[in-house]
């Protein structure tokens, strides 16, 4: 069942001109809220944008990607709190937020909502448009809506043995 959602999920860049049903949107957001986080810090705040005018303004801030203007909703994921570091390299709060967004993409796919993970954006412009404080930087944005037509075939994945090593790293 979870594997079904994983296999079904792909980046959708064409949406019907139809708002997402509130109950379904709440299910998707709940999946993110329930995601695990280091020390249970839950270092996230999700700004949900459904206003057509604001989505239109955000297109410029999101790299001019025109398809974003057709999305029924955008989930702007912001860091909330001090977070923690994993080793010396990684910001655990950012990793936790990406886990939460991935939970959202899988829940969305399981109920017929398409999503597209947006990593190209001007964080300062998004923050200004949405009144997001500087201490809560934007980590990622998720576009979502009901897919327009049937999605194409999911891109080919690497073979299992090309990505899984047993006991030691192998090339």
Residues 72-82, mean pLDDT to the nearest whole number:
92
Q: What is the pLDDT of residue 92?
A: 87
Directed axis angle between helix 22-33 and helix 92-110, to 10°? 140
Range of weakest confidence among 19-23, 151-155, 165-169: 151-155
Can you tell me the distance from the alpha carbon of 64 to that of 9, in angstroms, rounded to the nearest whole number? 24
The three-state secondary structure class of 12 is: coil
Residues 29-58, mean pLDDT to the nearest whole number:
96
Q: Give the distance, in angstroms, between the CA of residue 153 and the centroid of all CA atoms in the same chain.
A: 21
Q: Where are the alpha helices (DSSP H) in 9-112?
A: 22-33, 52-61, 92-110
DSSP state of 111: T
Element (H, E) at 119: none
- pLDDT, one tens digit per residue, over 45-76 is 999 999 999 999 999 999 999 999 999 999 99
Strands in 73-79's sheet, in edge-to-edge order, are: 44-49, 73-79, 138-145, 114-118
Whole-prediction pTM value?
A: 0.92
Class of domain 2-163: alpha beta
Domain ranges of the chain: 2-163
């Amino acid at each position: 069942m979870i594997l079904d959602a994983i296999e079904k999920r792909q980046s959708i860049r064409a949406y019907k001109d139809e708002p997402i049903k509130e109950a379904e949107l709440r299910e998707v957001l709940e999946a993110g809220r329930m995601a695990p986080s280091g020390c249970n810090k839950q270092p996230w705040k999700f700004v949900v944008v459904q206003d057509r005018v604001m989505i239109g303004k955000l297109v410029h801030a999101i790299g001019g990607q025109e398809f974003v203007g057709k999305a029924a909703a955008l989930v702007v994921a912001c860091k909330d709190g001090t977070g923690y570091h994993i080793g010396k390299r990684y910001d655990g709060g950012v990793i936790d937020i990406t886990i939460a967004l991935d939970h959202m993409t899988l829940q969305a796919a399981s109920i017929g909502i398409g999503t597209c993970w947006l990593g190209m954006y001007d964080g300062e412009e998004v923050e200004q448009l949405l009144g997001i404080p500087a201490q809560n930087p934007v980590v990622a944005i998720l576009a979502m809506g009901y897919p327009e037509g049937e999605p194409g075939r999911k891109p080919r994945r690497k073979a299992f043995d090309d990505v899984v090593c047993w006991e030691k790293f192998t090339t």
